[in-house]
Amino acid sequence: MIKLEHVVKAYGEQEVLKDISFEIAKGELVVLIGPSGCGKSTLLRLINRMIELSGGRILIKDRDTRTLDPVSLRLGIGYVIQSIGLFSHMTIFENVEVVPSLLQQNKKLRRERARELLDMMGLEPAQYGQRYPKELSGGQQQRVGIARAIAADPEIMLMDEPFSAVDPITREQLQDHFLGLKTQIDKTIVFVTHDVDEAVKLGDRICILNQGLVQQIDSPKALLHKPANDFVASFLGEDRELKRLSRIPVTDVMRSGAHPEARTIEKHKSAKDALNRLLAGENSLNVIDDQNSIIGTVNLQDLQG
Amino acid sequence: MRRQGLLLLAAWLGSFWLFAQQSGWKHALSYVASKNQTPIFERNTLWELVWQHLNLCLFSMLLVMIIGLPLALFVTRSYGKPFLGLVSNTVNIGQIFPPTAVLFLFLPIFGFGPTAAIIALFIYGLLPTVRGGLLGLSTIPEDQSNAALGCGMNAWQILWRLEFPQALPSILAGLRTSLILIIATATVAPLVGTGGLGVPIIAGLSTNNVALVLEGALPVALIAVLADMTVRWLEQVLVRWA
Amino acid sequence: MMTKRFDPVLLLGAGLGLVASLFPLLLFKANRLVLGDFIGFPDLPVPHAYLMLLAFLALLASAFLPKFRLPIASSLVVISWLLLNWTISLTTRQLLADAPAIARVSFAPGFWLALFALYVACFALSQRWRWAFLLLPVAVLLGSWLGHYELLGPAVEFRSVASEFLPQTLRHLALSLVSLVLAALIGLPLGILAFRQRQFENIILGGAGLLQTLPSIALFGLLLPPLAYLGRSFQLSQVLIILAILILFIGLRWVSSLRFLGNLAVSGTLILALPLFGLWLVSLLSGESATLKSWLNLNSSLADIGLRGIGAAPVLIALTLYALLPIVVNTHLGLRNIPPGTLDAATGMGMNARQRFWRAEFPLALPFMMEGLRTALVLTFGITTVAALVGAGGLGFFILRGVENAAPDLVLLGALPIVLLALVLDSFMRGLSWLLTPKGLRS
Ligand SMILES: Nc1ncnc2c1ncn2[C@@H]1O[C@H](COP(=O)(O)OP(=O)(O)OP(=O)(O)O)[C@@H](O)[C@H]1O
Ligand SMILES: [Mg+2]
């Protein structure tokens, strides 16, 4: 869907991106991660041509973006900017309807769609729709920002640290919400963050950037298990095995059978959750499904494999 | 806000009704006039003076808007950028010039008559409007202009959907200052050869006739205050989001 | 930094200069009653006019120079101005050679446009060289030194009013400065009050804003009847007695149950004493010995000491009222902009309210207060222009006389110094406020 070939971006003398090549498949969510100032936002803005390439090329659906009209290119790409950027003179409804109105969609339909989206983002449309951005909390504004980017149903979404302006608890809620949403909407997403946990939780693949180069691009599990170099290893942190467990469902590590007297854990929890409880003193845990019937059991030895 | 609007409308209508009561004014002013003086300006009715004044002000104001806003727009576009410094500098220096002095600076150039007055009022009125426009158009929050670009707006859409509404509060504040300045300076304009409410004031001051002075001063004060309140009301109605 | 292909602003300046030199530069009037003839390019002396045109053309071309643009253009600015002056003084001499004594030669639109054109050009150059803005004054001074300005209308008019010029200028300054002092005495405390007492905030700020919308001569007019009445009906002795009683009542401020009455007495004293003080100061500054003498005679009416419907009194009161808004608003703003943490820290250090005000709040708000005073001074200085209409004098006096005698040159003699002095006062106040800004806050 998106293909980067030897992408270079320089500001004057300073080469921010030196040689970036990778490909993103349709429906995939790739997380860009790296230290602050490594060029993550720059890479996103190159994709929708908010800024121009210094070298290399970017293909979207096999067409060189430089041959496309930048305005219509951007109309087809949802973009959530790092600083939210809601239009302060428009109501929440008007903000969500911006792109549909640029595409001159029917007024009734787009209001309908805006309601649907706000609802989906967990904001009561009747309550918030007619408010102005300053009357919303930071977290609520970020949700509106996401709704605005999805409104015209673009195939591609660029999301620049969309959950950065909120406290850890709200952030977790938003992430869970987003994971649920991702299964409903089939979109190709480039997602920027500098939070490793968030990357591991959300990404199909993670791309680690540093010093203008891709250090490693791989699935979260593979990345955490086999960091390509010292930078990646230290960036992911000493606890990367723990992080890896958070992406493994507990059903992947359980044995068949059941342990008498053991407490239970729901099947959609991660191996990390199980480890937490085992370390807290349980000998083993029985995994249960939605009907509360036991489908397997897990103990500390199982997690070491 | 609706009620305020209706009240303002009523105040305007009421004032105009009041200005039309020529004999009423004459009667009322005769209490302050001394015996051998005329209590009211005789060459024009008050109604005519009000219209002369408003004509002068509104015509200059129209020129201010037609020239000032596009000028502010031009120098904040990428192709007008080289002139931004010149215009903002000139506007800032120009605001130190006293308005009445400017009125008379144009007298030697254009001679006595309404042309000089209108040009002077227009040029001085231009300053606050251009300043407001520049301020508004050059302080669009960067995150919002990024978002607009990222949404896929073209330059025209960015102007109409983002920059203009965002700049509106400053633009309106600038227009209000211009309007008040023009109304006030137009009161002195009869010295340059125009009509308007300044005529009886100046005549009254030079003949020591309090009645004539009041005949001009009261209406012009009323008009200035109402104009100020009207634009302020407009600011509230149009800028609900701030 | 690379030189751009061409400098559009310099181009604009040079272009305006070209247009200006084709416009009429001078206006010749055989006497005050005729309309006069415009003297433009075809009537100008031959080699000089062409040289002037050539200089502006060269300036135009210099906007495209890849190298040495700055020194060449700068010299061309000065040269073209000098050539313009040369042309003008030659033409003036020719015109006046066989004309009657009352004939006048004055500046016409082309001259003013040329001045503006050079301002634009200097601005363009000052983007690359900070001192380029001095080129204009240097050129103008050089020009007036070399040229024969003494033959031109404004100079002739100046000679006829020369003896009055300085006194009227001082009078103008006195009126605006004294009202600034009065406005500061009232406005600074009002601004502090608006900040401290929430319930007064809207009344004070709104009231000051409303006053500002009133046209100045309308305000003069509205003040005329009451002031005339007061001046006619009261004697200095009566006012002094009232003042003395009020001052006695101020003591009530310390009786806690009558505090309000005491405060009322303070306001009354100020309302009465401040205008009188202002009037006294103005007559002192403009050296009116007769008025000053009346102060010593308790039987003189208030009109004798200057409180009349016309003259300095309405001007002082109106100017003070106008100057209130910028002072009050900026004082309020300055106090509100102080980070709350700073004040908490001051209290935490053990300062009492008075110390906290003088050591923390006041110095931090001072730059804003100075900004308010600067705006107020520029405002009052400008409005004093119309003071002549109510017989209070000032530079507006020449404007008014020029208007009455249909002598635009005389009008210019009033208007131009007002503008120049306003610019000077503005820079002076800016400098002063820079000096008074705490070092850490200077930008
Ligand atoms: N317009 C610009 N001009 C010059 N340098 C720029 C510009 N925009 C970005 N840079 C530089 O490019 C580098 C990358 O910036 P970018 O915004 O892409 O970083 P980032 O990875 O998104 O950082 P963060 O995590 O803090 O958002 C930074 O060093 C920045 O200073
Ligand atoms: Mg970034």
Cβ–Cβ below 8 Å for B205 and C214: no
Contact at 8 Å (CB) between B195 and B49?
A: yes
Angle at A122 between CA A116 and CA A124, to 5 degrees: 70
pLDDT higher than 90, residue C170? yes
Contact at 8 Å (CB) between C192 and C330?
A: no
Q: Is it the case that chain C and chain B have 3 or more CB pairs lying under 8 Å apart?
A: yes
* Percent of chain C topping pLDDT 70: 99
Which positions in chain C touch B177 (Cβ < 8 Å)?
none
The separation between CA C75 and the C-alpha centre of its own chain, rounded to angstroms, equals 32
d(CA C230, CA C220): 15
- Side chain identity at B132, as an amino acid letter? G
d(CA B181, CA B101): 13
SS (H, E, C) chain A: CEEEEEEEEEECCEEEEEEEEEEECCCCEEEEECCCCCCHHHHHHHHCCCCCCCEEEEEECCEEHHHCCHHHHHHCEEEECCCCCCCCCCCHHHHHCHHHHHCCCCHHHHHHHHHHHHHHCCCCHHHHCCCCHHHCCHHHHHHHHHHHHHCCCCCEEEEECCCCCCCHHHHHHHHHHHHHHHHHCCCEEEEECCCHHHHHHHCCEEEEEECCEEEEEECHHHHHHCCCCHHHHHHHCCCHHHHHHHHCEHHHHCECCCCCCCEEEECCCEHHHHHHHHHCCCCEEEEECCCCCEEEEEEHHHHHC
β-bridge mates for residue C1, sequence order: none
Mutation target for B interface from C217, C379, C420: give the one with most B CBs within 10 A: C217
Burial profile C385-421: b = 16 or more Cβ within 10 angstroms, e = fewer:
bbbbbbbbbbbbbbbbbbbeeebbbbbbbbbbbbbeb
Question: What distance in angstroms lies between residue A40's CA and the mean position of ligand 2's atoms?
Answer: 6
Which pLDDT belongs to residue C443?
A: 67
Indicate the helix (H) or strand (E) that contains C105: strand C104-107
Contact at 8 Å (CB) between A158 and A78?
A: yes
β-bridge mates for residue A3, sequence order: A23, A59
Q: What is the average per-residue pLDDT within C147-176?
A: 88
Chains near C with 3+ CB pairs less than 8 A apart are B
Question: What distance in angstroms lies between residue C176's CA and the mean position of ligand 2's atoms?
Answer: 55
Of A80 and C252, which is predicted with more confidence?
Answer: A80
Lowest mean pLDDT among C1-5, C296-300, C432-436: C1-5
Contact at 8 Å (CB) between C278 and C182?
A: yes
Place of tokens 């600011």: B235
pLDDT band at residue C1, thresholds of 50, 70 and 90? very low
Report the predicted TM-score, pTM, of the whole model to 2 decimal places: 0.88
What number of residues does chain A have? 305
Which positions in chain A touch B147 (Cβ < 8 Å)?
79, 81, 84-87
pLDDT higher than 50, residue C33? yes
Q: Is C235 helix (H, G, I), strand (E, B) or coil?
A: strand
For the segment A244-271, what is each residue's pLDDT rounded down to a tens digit?
888 888 888 888 888 888 888 888 888 8
In angstroms, the Cα distances linking C415 to A292, B109, C153, C238, C420 are 94, 13, 15, 41, 9
Chains near A with 3+ CB pairs less than 8 A apart are B
Q: What mean pLDDT value characterizes chain A?
A: 90
Interface of C with B in 80-139 (CB under 8 A): 106-109, 112, 119-120, 123-124, 127
pLDDT band at residue B4, thresholds of 50, 70 and 90? very high
Which pLDDT belongs to residue C218?
A: 87
In A, minimum Cα distance to B155 occurs at: A71
Q: What is the average per-residue pLDDT within A168-176?
A: 83
* Percent of chain A topping pLDDT 70: 100
CATH 3.40.50.720 holds for B2-6+52-241: no
d(CA B108, CA C251): 59
Which of C193, C173, C170 is closest to C327 using CA atoms? C193
Residue A284 is encoded by which pair of tokens?
């083993």
Residue A200 is encoded by which pair of tokens?
């591991």
For the segment C394-409, what is each residue's pLDDT rounded down to a tens digit?
999 999 998 888 888 8
Q: What is the average per-residue pLDDT within C13-21?
A: 93
Q: What is the average per-residue pLDDT within C275-304?
A: 84
In B, minimum Cα distance to C227 occurs at: B210
Indicate whether residue A212 lines ligand 1 (CB < 6 A): no
pLDDT higher than 60, residue C2? no
Residue B2 is encoded by which pair of tokens?
């609706």
The domain segmentation of chain B, as residue ranges, is 2-6+52-241
pLDDT higher than 70, residue A305? no
Which pLDDT belongs to residue C3?
A: 57
Q: Is C298 helix (H, G, I), strand (E, B) or coil?
A: coil
Q: What is the average per-residue pLDDT within A112-124?
A: 91
Question: What distance in angstroms lies between residue A74's CA and the mean position of ligand 2's atoms?
Answer: 18
Residue B132 is encoded by which pair of tokens?
């407001």
β-bridge mates for residue A55, sequence order: A8
* Percent of chain B topping pLDDT 90: 74
Q: What is the average per-residue pLDDT within A9-20?
A: 92
pLDDT higher than 60, residue B230? yes
**Averaging pLDDT over each range in A102-116, C142-156, C240-254, which range is the top one?**
A102-116
For the segment B196-214, what is each residue's pLDDT rounded down to a tens digit?
999 999 999 888 888 999 9
Which positions in chain A touch B162 (Cβ < 8 Å)?
87
Domains defined along chain A, listed by start: 2-244 (3.40.50.300), 250-304 (3.10.580.10)
Report the complex ipTM: 0.87
For the segment C326-352, what is each residue's pLDDT rounded down to a tens digit?
999 999 999 998 888 888 888 888 888
